[in-house]
Amino acid sequence: MNLNQANGNLQLEDSGLPLSKGYVALQAESHPTEFRNIEIPDLK
């Protein structure tokens, strides 16, 4: 995985390998939204 900068934004190049760590961003538009008890299971 490589990070490149294009148009002032960082972009991630896809290496085809699974990610072993990182962040997940949740986004809701136009209305206030609260997230709680979010679970992300391992997909094996």
pLDDT score of 9:
65
- Which residue in 10, 13, 40, 11 sits closest to 25, CA to CA? 40
pLDDT score of 19:
72
Q: Which residue has the tokens 């538009």?
A: 29
pLDDT score of 10:
64
Q: What is the pTM of this model?
A: 0.33
pLDDT score of 8:
65
pLDDT score of 27:
83
pLDDT in tens, the chain (44 residues): 556 666 666 666 677 777 777 888 888 888 888 888 988 887 77
